[in-house]
Amino acid sequence: MLIVCEPECRGFAHERINAYYLYALSLSLPGEKILFIAEKGHIKCIKENLSGRDANIEYMETDIPDPARPYLRQIRPFIELDRKLFRLAEERGADRLIYLSISSVNLYLIKYLLKREKRINKCLIVLHGILETLNHYPYRGISRVTDFLFWFRNPLLMKHGSEKIEYLALSQGIKDRLVSKYRSLAKNIHVTFFPYLFSEPPAAKASFAGGSVRFGSFGGIKAPGQLLALIERVNAVKSIHRPEFVIIGPGDGIKFPEGVVVPSPNKRMDRQEMDKYAVGVNYALYVYPRGGYDLMASGALFDAISYQKPMIAIRNPFFEECFAIFGDIGYLCEDTDEMFEVMSAILKTPPDIKYEVQRQNLVRAKGITSPDRTAGTLKRLLEVNA
């Protein structure tokens, strides 16, 4: 038996990524039972994503620590969760464990507990957005001692208890950039290629029907001032086609210009809401800081691939990697000025042929990221003597 735990995500957070891993694991271990332990709402979302593809997966609900609590107050909940996993491993005869996300507090604890734990021989840990904190050196003043202590670099590089741990990065570029910072990790980091379980999106509307072009801002709003300014500029463009904007994600309480559709002003959208509004979008917008996504992947970019929406985005390392692999899937821009020029040109003369080429490349991207591709990697890594 293999035990898999999601110690942080609630509800539909990371649902497609975690469903991908579970499906790939079920493919790589067809005759073995997989016990998935997570928060109740998250399990519900995973079951919906895996519908009919989880024959060898058993589900177990658990309480998970509150990430908003101070570091020191997270220790006890994580200890209780980790000890529960090790106890289950003993009871079920499992010798391998996978964490689908990680925090500084929990990585410290896992390493200390693994050093004493005899049953677990291999522990895989998926590295998500926590890696981006490595680019921000914490303030070391006396009032911020815990911030430095729990800076992710410290538990990541701690050798004590590391013998049984392997890490999974979400792309080759992320692994390469991480190893360039910390070469001692080179042998312990592996790649699962853009993990995301795609489903068939609702039937798309005609490309540019009705005399309008609809731009959808996907994911969280990373640079609200720049996004608002871009919307204002594009709305002022005089052209045959009129621009429309919809926020496919939380509105974060921001006051948008009149006419901007904000289905979820103050909270995350659920999958049904995303399906409803994303289907009518022509282009996915990403007004993200240029320096972001150096060590983390963008789930919102995967959403655009899933819905087959060509992208207009500010260039960053992760987006550059995706465009290099998938081909022409939209427009990479240096800044919002270039985004404005691209959007203005589209409004004046919608590029029907180029648009269809981009959509077909997005269809092919789904095949490139198939779980079958990852199953072999996971099987090899889970071999106890590997």
Q: What is the pLDDT of residues 153-203, one digit of tens each?
A: 999 999 999 999 999 999 999 999 999 999 999 999 999 877 788 877 665
d(CA 197, CA 182): 30
Q: What is the CA radius of gyration of the chain?
A: 22
Domain of 336?
Answer: 209-368
- How many separate domains does the chain show? 2
* Consecutive H or E run containing 384: none
pLDDT at 122: 94
Assign 61 to helix, strand or coil: strand
100 and 239 co-located in one domain: no
Instruction: Report the DSSP beta bridge partners of residue 242.
Output: 212
Give the percent of the chain with pLDDT over 70: 96
pLDDT at 386: 45
Report pLDDT digits (tens) over 283-330: 999 999 887 789 988 888 988 998 999 999 999 999 999 999 999 999
d(CA 267, CA 10): 14
> Would you say residue 386 lies in a domain?
no
Global pTM? 0.91
Inter-axis angle of helices 104-116 and 71-92, nearest 10? 40
Contact 169, 127 (CB under 8 A): yes
> Would you say residue 203 lies in a domain?
no
pLDDT at 361: 95
> Would you say residue 79 lies in a domain?
yes
What number is the average pLDDT over the span 206-230?
Answer: 88
165 and 276 co-located in one domain: no
Report pLDDT digits (tens) over 106-144: 999 999 999 988 889 999 999 998 999 998 888 765 557
Contacts with 384 (C-beta within 8 Å, 6 or more apart), sequence order: 95, 96, 121, 122
pLDDT at 367: 82
The CATH number covering residue 75 comes to 3.40.50.2000
23 and 169 co-located in one domain: yes
Assign 96 to helix, strand or coil: strand
DSSP character for 194?
S
Q: Scanning the structure block, which residue is given the tokens 């590391």?
A: 162
284 and 377 co-located in one domain: no
356 and 239 co-located in one domain: yes
50 and 152 co-located in one domain: yes
Q: Scanning the structure block, which residue is given the tokens 């996300």?
A: 101
- β-bridge pairing 57-61 and 34-38: parallel
Compute, in degrees rounded to 10, the torsion defined by CA atoms 69, 293, 290, 304. Answer: -110
What number is the average pLDDT over the span 34-55?
Answer: 93
Assign 200 to helix, strand or coil: coil
pLDDT at 136: 86
d(CA 32, CA 330): 41
> Would you say residue 133 lies in a domain?
yes
Give the percent of the chain with pLDDT over 90: 68
294 and 374 co-located in one domain: no
244 and 285 co-located in one domain: yes
Going by pLDDT thresholds of 50, 70 and 90, the confidence category of residue 204 is: low
Going by pLDDT thresholds of 50, 70 and 90, the confidence category of residue 205 is: low
> Would you say residue 286 lies in a domain?
yes
> Would you say residue 202 lies in a domain?
no
Going by pLDDT thresholds of 50, 70 and 90, the confidence category of residue 373 is: confident
The two tokens of residue 154 are 């410290």
172 and 28 co-located in one domain: yes
The two tokens of residue 27 are 């493919």
> Would you say residue 9 lies in a domain?
yes
254 and 179 co-located in one domain: no
Backbone torsions φ then ψ of 131, nearest 5 degrees? -65, -30
> Would you say residue 26 lies in a domain?
yes
138-147, 148-157, 254-263 — which is least confidently predicted?
Answer: 138-147
pLDDT at 206: 52
Contacts with 273 (C-beta within 8 Å, 6 or more apart), sequence order: 263, 264
Considering only CA atoms, which of 188, 42, 64, 185 is closest in space to residue 123?
188
Assign 129 to helix, strand or coil: helix
173 and 52 co-located in one domain: yes
Judged against a pLDDT cut of 60, whether residue 380 lies above it is answered with yes
d(CA 208, CA 210): 7
343 and 312 co-located in one domain: yes
